[in-house]
Chain A
C-alpha cells in the first residue's frame, strides 16, 4: 500500500481543519453570550 501515509495525512489534515473551525465557532459564540450577559447586567444597573 504505497503512499498510505499521505492518504492518512490528507484525511487527518482535512478533519483537523474542520474540527478546529467548529470549536472556534463554539468558543466565539460562548464568549459573545457572556458579553451579552455582562451588557444586560450593566444596562439593568444603569436603569
Chain B
C-alpha cells in the first residue's frame, strides 16, 4: 500500500513537471500561438494509448497460444487503459481544433480512424460482458482484440498516406517534418510522464482483474455448496 502511494506520488509529480514544461518551458509556436501547447498532452496521450493497445495485442496473441488467464487479465487491462488515453485524445483534439480550424471535428482519415479505434475497443470491452464462461470469454475477446489492433497501423499511417485536415506528422514524416529541440525535449518528457501514468493505471487495473478472477472462483465454489 505504501509502495502504491509512493508510485502515485511520483507519477503525479512527473505529470505536474510535464504540464509545467508544456505551459512555461516550451517556446510558443509561431503560427498557432498558445493553443499549440495542448500538443504536449494530446500527442503524448495518443502515443501512450497506442502503446497500451500494442500491449493488449501482444497479450491477446500470447493468450491464444498459451491459454493462461493472466494474459487475458493483462489484455483487458491494457485495452481499458488504452481506451482512457484515447478518450483524452478525442476530448483534447476538438478543444485544440476549434480555435485553429474553426470547427470542432471533421471526418478526415486521422480523426475517423482514431474514432473507429475508440469504438473497436469499446466493443472489445462490451463483448466481454456478453460471454459468461471465463475461458470462452477470454478466447473470443483475444481474437477480437487481435482484429481491433489492425486499426492501429491505419491511425499511424493516416496522416502519411492521405491528405488530412489534421497536421502532418512530426515523427517519421519525411523532409520538412520535425520539431524545435526544446519542443522535442518537452514532448519526450511528457510522453515519459504519460507512460509512467499508464504503468500505474495498468498495474491497478490488472490487480482488479486478478481480484475479480478470485471472486469468480469463490462464487462458483459457493454455488456448488
Contacts and interface: CB of A to CB of B under 8 A. Distances in A.
Interface in A14-47: 14-15, 17-18, 21-22, 25-26, 28-29, 32-33, 35-36, 39-40, 42-43, 46
B208 A43 contact: no
B41 A11 contact: yes
B222 A43 contact: yes
Contact of A17 (B88, B98, B211, B225): B88
Contacts of B221: 39, 43
Given A10-B42, A36-B214, A28 B208 contact: yes
Contacts of A10: 38, 41-42, 91-92, 95-96
Contact of B38 (A1, A7, A15, A18): A7
B89 to A, nearest CB: 9
A17 B204 CA distance: 16
A17 B201 CA distance: 12
Contacts of B204: 22, 25-26, 29
B208 A25 contact: yes
Contacts of A6: 35, 38, 95-96, 98-99
Q: Which of A10, A28, A39, A40 has the most CB of B within 10 A?
A: A10
B214 A3 contact: no
Q: A18, A35, A39 — which one has the most chain B CB atoms within 10 A of its CB?
A: A18
Contacts of A3: 33-35, 99
B215 A18 contact: no
A25 B201 contact: yes
Contacts of B95: 6, 9-10, 13
Contact of B37 (A7, A21, A40, A46): A7
Interface of A: 1-4, 6-7, 9-11, 13-15, 17-18, 21-22, 25-26, 28-29, 32-33, 35-36, 39-40, 42-43, 46
| Nearest 6 CB-CB pairings of A with B | A3-B35, A39-B218, A10-B92, A10-B95, A10-B38, A29-B208
Interface of B: 15, 19, 23, 33-35, 37-38, 41-42, 45, 84, 87-88, 91-92, 95-96, 98-99, 197, 200-201, 204-205, 207-208, 211-212, 214-215, 218-219, 221-222, 225
21 contacts: A3-B33, A3-B34, A6-B38, A7-B23, A7-B34, A7-B35, A7-B38, A9-B95, A10-B41, A13-B91, A14-B91, A17-B88, A22-B200, A25-B204, A26-B204, A29-B207, A33-B211, A35-B215, A39-B221, A42-B222, A43-B225
